[in-house]
Amino acid sequence: MAETIAVIAMGEMGSGVARRLHERGATVITSLAGRSAASAARAEKAGATALSTDDELVAQAGTILSIVPPGDAVALGERLAPAIERAARKPVYVDCNAVSPQTAERIGEVLQGTGCTYVDAGIIGPPPGPNSRTIFYASGPGAKEFERLSAHGLTIRVMDGPNGAASAMKLSYAGITKGCTAIGSAMMLGATRGGTVAALRQELSESQPMLLNWMRGFVSRMPPKAYRWVAEMEEIAKFQEDDKAAEAMYLGIARFYQQIAAALEAPQPGDAIAQLNDFCAEPAKRKSA
């Protein structure tokens, strides 16, 4: 009998995970409450069936995967908790979002008393695809129950430790990769303002060619994702609350990504995104030296 898995919501990652599960024999369901037409189209393409009510979704799902923006993770748990409490059969609820261990604990508190099994998880990598490396890290007492979805094409690594350990792993990794992306972007823009782009690019190409190539790839792909990374950086700041300097650093990075997101929403000639694209462009495609 096919496993029935609810995936919420149908963003790029959620729909990618839904598609992989569907391709590997699972029945995938979702909720499109409050979602856009684009989400509905992604759900259809992924092979996910949209159900009308939360009670219907919870009653059918053996596992619920929460894959939403970090700022929406607690709210989704709060929304589904009454339906889970009413359900005769209790699902496994897996929070897969980029949240701090403190937020992961809060989600567990929201679901406590509903009877479901709660699993803390974090996703590292792009949406699942033929050539992508997408790893689900999971921790806590229920992680082994989530691991059974490996049979439907997910790569799941169960960590030692309580709920919160997987979130700590995810944010530690994201703090490095997305933190370095922000620092590189800020200095590219600083060099542009200072009139030193050509000299900086030349120096990096000679002394740090691997770093230059890494930054070109990460920075050029960053602007469309910046709006999602704002809340993620705020969660990393919460994760670092015992280190006030690190906490302040990631709050600053959140504001930096907020600026990039605003520039993407209201593009202007020569704005920050245009400057970053120019810095990252191959010589033949560069507008200016």
Residue 288: the pLDDT is 46
Query: Pick from 184, 214, 202: which is nearest to 286 by CA?
Result: 202
Helix 209-221 vs helix 165-194: crossing angle, to nearest 10: 100
Pick out the chain residues at pLDDT < 50: 288-289
Neighbouring CB atoms inside 10 A of 239's CB total 26
Report whether 136 contacts 14 (CB < 8 A): no
Task: Name the nearest CA neighbour of 175 among 113, 258, 94, 98.
Answer: 98
CA atoms within 13 A on the CB side of 174: 31
User: Which tokens is 186 given?
Assistant: 């800020």
Q: Are 26 and 152 contacting, i.e. CB atoms less than 8 angstroms apart?
A: yes
Position 283 scores a pLDDT of 72
Q: How far is CA 135 from the centre of its chain?
A: 12
DSSP 249: H
Look up the pTM and report it: 0.94
Q: CB under 8 Å to 283, separation ≥6 — which residues?
A: none
Classify residue 276 by burial, with Cβ atoms within 10 Å: 0-12, 13-18, 19+. buried
pLDDT of amino acid 289: 42
Helix H or strand E segment including 28: strand 27-31
At 284 the pLDDT is 61
Distance CA 88, CA 217 (A): 49
